[in-house]
Amino acid sequence: MRNRGQRLLLWYSLLILWCLLPLSTLARPFVLVLSQDDLKDAASDQPDDLSADDWDEFDSDSKPDDELDPGSWRPVFEPDSSTPAPSGTDPVADATYYSGLRKMVGAMSEEEGDPGMMERAVSEIEAAAGGGHPHAQSAMGFLYSMGMAREKNRAKGFLYHTFASDGGNLQFPFDLIVFNSALNLPFSAIKASIWGSKSNNLMHEKAVKLYAELAEVAVNSFLISKDSPVIEPVRIHSGAEENKEALRKSKGEKDEDFQILEYQAQKGNAGAMYKIGIFYYFGLRGLRRDHTKALSWFLKAVDKGEPRSMEVLGEIYARGAGVERNYTKALEWLRLASRQQLYSAYNGMGYLYVKGHGVENKNYTKAKEYFEKAAENEEPGGYYNLGVLYLKGIGVGVKRDVKQACKYFIMAANAGQPKAFYQLAKMFHTGVGLKKNLPMATALYKLVAERGPWSSLSRWALESYLKGDVGKAFLLYSRMAELGYEVAQSNAAWILDKYEERSMCMGESGFCTDSERHNRAHTLWWQASEQGNEHAALLIGDAYYYGRGTERDYDRAAEAYMHAKSQSNAQAMFNLGYMHEHGQGLPLDLHLAKRYYDQALEIDPAAKLPVTLALASLWIRKNHAKSFLVDIIDSLPEVRPKVEAWVENVVMEEGNATILTLFVCLLTVLYLRERQRRHAVAAAGDVAPQDQPNELGAPMEVRDLRR
């Protein structure tokens, strides 16, 4: 991805965000510029009920991540876990729902699939949903939206998800709020209709409310002293091929690199101990989250004097993750880490003084000193915490100053602090300090929400794929795709294209027909392309250009290629040059065609051969426009499919291929025999050169070589 330039507006007028939709390595970034118009005189609109109790969303009685995770599929994939049933639901409905869920996963997991079991599963889930079970309603919303065992009906899906959300389920797909009934519109038209129309305020109100709830849960899971690592879904493909390197690194304890790291830790390497502890604490690199193992490795590391492990132990005791919560111990570990010049630990210490945890009394002055120490050492958490102090006017001598708070939040956000995004989202949402902007608030809330503790679906999907259970992986990636994760959308689409019938794709009745599978893959690729996936945009362009799974539409193909081209995709540039050369979906313009061909070669030197041929075609078309050569060039696209069909149906047929192979072998033998005969004749028939004078002018003696 290209980095956009930064420029100064106001104090820190540039806030760099990663993406408008899910975080992804291929996602398109956007830049939020805060101008004077975004700010407002906050003296008259500050609420009076702000206090230290509303410091942030880390609750003193915060729940473990397993309870925060709204997936509710854990009892199926981790039956030994102690995840409680959804509160306030009927035990009978719970049993019916989980029975149907297990059958649905089983139907997709069978070697040959079982549409009958899928139908029975959906009937049970539907019965639980009819009884008001929120997770069952969410599952039915997913099934109707995808067209699995029920007719594809996004309106019904939206309705089920709305009921589920009202019942406390947090899995509400963003695209059903914003992109409902607009999925097949061009990107620019969608943006214009969503972000520019007053009639969509109701959708934004709903979206911002839902994502505010998700973001609040996500903030609950963040560390108090420093930024938590981003746990992103693994992209199982790289372009059209399997991403073997990423899959290799996701094998958990079977990964060779992990085994080497574990060996180093066992030999006493403190840094390796800390890394393994982090892997287990957050569930990274394909490992199951295990706080007990993490605690064990952190304790071994601190025995070696490893300061980062001291800080994490402070987090563990403050949160009660795998141990009994003990704020006094938390403060001790954080203080030890700070003495080792680990400045992020000052944030945790300041937080405990704000809350009065592990200390005799709340001490805002002491907390401010710690936050300032962190900020002086360019620690993002320090900027964030100082921003909250000024936003809420907490502490002796600290006056409420929204402009100063906004300055600190922007500094923290530029350094990637997710809590700063959350505070800016709240300011855009409520209109406190910043002008009310619901679309921006929704985007920022969503960015924070996707860093929450709900990586379980992705982990289970990856585990299933690595075990060869493609159907189960496809089901889980489809569920994540509906929730708006770009990586899951592209993974699910890639599985459909790569494995076809083996993907166990379930349609309205039974397995997906070819048409249903193509349409579903097309929809998934389209959703991924809208979130900046250039490979997906390229495939969408190809689908519209060739009419694969949809009607041929050169205009939409050109728009999709433009989308991929904006991310420096050489193939998209070449395709745009071709369309300009032939006037397909774009104006006939040979100069622009040449420009695109040249750009494709600049981006990818491997494109030299096709670009050279394309430039030769342009030269012929420009200088011999009325010659038969142009007709031949224009006929090539029609000839190529016929040649490919002939090769596939005639040449590659088993019997014909055998005969052709024998014929080629015979020709090779005859050629080698002829070559050998000619060499023998040449050797036997060599004639000595005629007498020529030597250097002294006398004739050379010629001897008969046959004697």
- From 9-18, 140-149, 262-271, 441-450, the region with the lowest mean pLDDT: 9-18
Q: Considering the chain, what is the average pLDDT of its residues? A: 76
Residue 78 lies in a domain: yes
Angle between helices 134-146 and 115-130 (to 10 degrees): 130
Residues 365-377, mean pLDDT to the nearest whole number: 90
pLDDT at res. 179: 40
On whether residue 606 sits in a domain, the answer given is: no
47: which 2 tokens? 């609420």
Q: Same structural domain for residues 272 and 353?
A: yes
**162 and 289 part of one domain:** no
Written as six digits, the tokens of 117 are: 């079991």
Max Cα distance, the chain (Å): 123
> Does pLDDT of 406 surpass 50?
yes
- Decide if pLDDT at 122 tops 90: yes
- Whether the pLDDT of residue 632 is over 80: the answer is no
> So what's the pLDDT on residue 143?
93
DSSP 33: E
CB 599 within 8 A of CB 567: no
**Number of domains the chain is built from:** 2
Domain span at 250? 237-449
What was the pLDDT predicted at 172? 63
Beta bridge partners of 242: 237
Is 306:272 a contact under the CB 8 Å cutoff?
Answer: no
Which residue, 403, 426, 449, sits at the end of a domain?
449
Q: How confident is the model at residue 493 (pLDDT cuts 50, 70, 90)?
A: very high
Of 450-454, 480-484, 595-599, 690-694, which has the strongest mean pLDDT? Answer: 595-599
220 within 8 A of 59, measured Cβ to Cβ: yes
Q: What is the pLDDT of residues 659-671, one digit of tens each?
A: 767 777 877 877 7
558 part of a folded domain: no
Range ranked top by mean pLDDT from 423-437, 530-544, 587-601:
587-601
**Count of other CB atoms within 10 angstroms of residue 582:** 17
- Indicate if the pLDDT at residue 366 is higher than 80: yes
Question: Could you tell me the pLDDT band of residue 491, with boundaries at 50, 70 and 90?
Answer: very high
Is 604 contained in some domain?
no
- Residue 48 reports pLDDT greater than 80: no
237 backbone dihedrals φ, ψ, rounded to 5°: -135, 155
Residue corresponding to tokens 């494709």: 600
- pLDDT confidence band for 185 (50 / 70 / 90): very low
Asked if residue 429 and residue 286 are part of one domain, the reply reads yes
Same domain, 157 and 200: yes
Residue 376 neighbours by CB under 8 Å, 6+ apart: 382
**Of 406, 428, 449, which closes a domain?**
449
Same domain, 186 and 311: no
In a domain, 80, yes or no: yes
Q: For residues 173 and 140, what is the distance between their CA atoms, to the nearest angstrom?
A: 13
Q: What is the dihedral of CA 257, 263, 264, 268, to 10 degrees?
A: 160
Lookup: tokens for 200: 């969509």
Contact between 247 and 236 (Cβ < 8 Å): yes
Asked if residue 365 and residue 252 are part of one domain, the reply reads yes
Residue pLDDT, tens place only, 407-428: 888 888 888 888 888 888 888 8
Residue 656 phi, psi dihedral angles, 5° rounding:
-65, -40
Label residue 206 by pLDDT band (50, 70, 90).
Answer: low
Could you tell me if 193 and 261 lie in one domain? Answer: no
SS3 534: helix
The DSSP letter of residue 242 is E
How does 264-291 read in b/e, with b if 16+ C-beta sit within 10 Å?
bbeeebbebbbbbbbbbbbbbbbbebeb
| CATH code of residue 371 | 1.25.40.10
Q: Residue 692 above 60 pLDDT?
A: no
Mean pLDDT over residues 322-329, rounded?
88
Tell me: do 244 and 132 sit in the same domain: no
Counting residues of the chain whose pLDDT is more than 90, the rounded percentage is 16
Pairwise pLDDT comparison (7 vs 78), residue with the higher score: 78
Residue 400 and residue 335 share a domain:
yes
Together in a domain, 103 and 214 = yes
Helix (H) or strand (E) holding 185: none
Asked if residue 624 is part of any domain, the answer here is: no
In a domain, 458, yes or no: no
Instruction: Give the integer Cα–Cα distance in Å for 211 and 449.
Output: 7
Of 400-404, 512-516, 629-633, give the lowest mean pLDDT range: 629-633
Whole-structure pTM value: 0.69
- Tell me: the pLDDT tens digits for 65-113? 555 554 568 788 877 655 555 555 678 888 899 999 999 999 988 666 7
The residue type at 161: H
* 22 has pLDDT over 80: no
Is the domain of 285 the same as that of 148? no
SS3 of 401, please?
A: coil
For residues 181-193, give the mean pLDDT.
35
Q: Do 213 and 333 share a domain, yes or no?
A: no
Task: With a cut of 50, say whether residue 28 has pLDDT above it.
Answer: no
Q: What is the pLDDT of residue 664?
A: 78
Q: Is 545's pLDDT higher than 70?
A: yes
Find out whether 581 and 618 touch, Cβ atoms under 8 Å.
yes
The tens digit of pLDDT for each residue in 101-120 reads: 999 999 988 666 788 999 99
525 lies in some domain? no
DSSP 188-230: HHHHHHHHS-GGGHHHHHHHHHHHHHHHHHHHHHS-SSSPPPP
- Residue 696 has what pLDDT? 44
The DSSP code sequence of 299-365 is: HHHHHTT-HHHHHHHHHHHHHTSSS---HHHHHHHHHHHHHTT-TTHHHHHHHHHHHT-SSSS--HH
Taking Cα atoms as reference points, which of 292, 297, 296, 338 lies closest to residue 314? 338
Residue appearing with tokens 């300061």: 307
Tokens of 53: 């109790």
Query: Cα-flanking dihedrals φ and ψ of residue 488, to 5°?
Result: -65, -40
For residue 140, name the pLDDT band (cuts at 50, 70, 90). Answer: very high
d(CA 361, CA 381): 23
What SS3 state is found at 171?
coil
* d(C-alpha 203, C-alpha 195), whole Å: 11
pLDDT at position 653 is 60
Q: Look at the block and give the residue holding tokens 């040249």.
A: 598
Choose between 638 and 434: higher pLDDT: 434
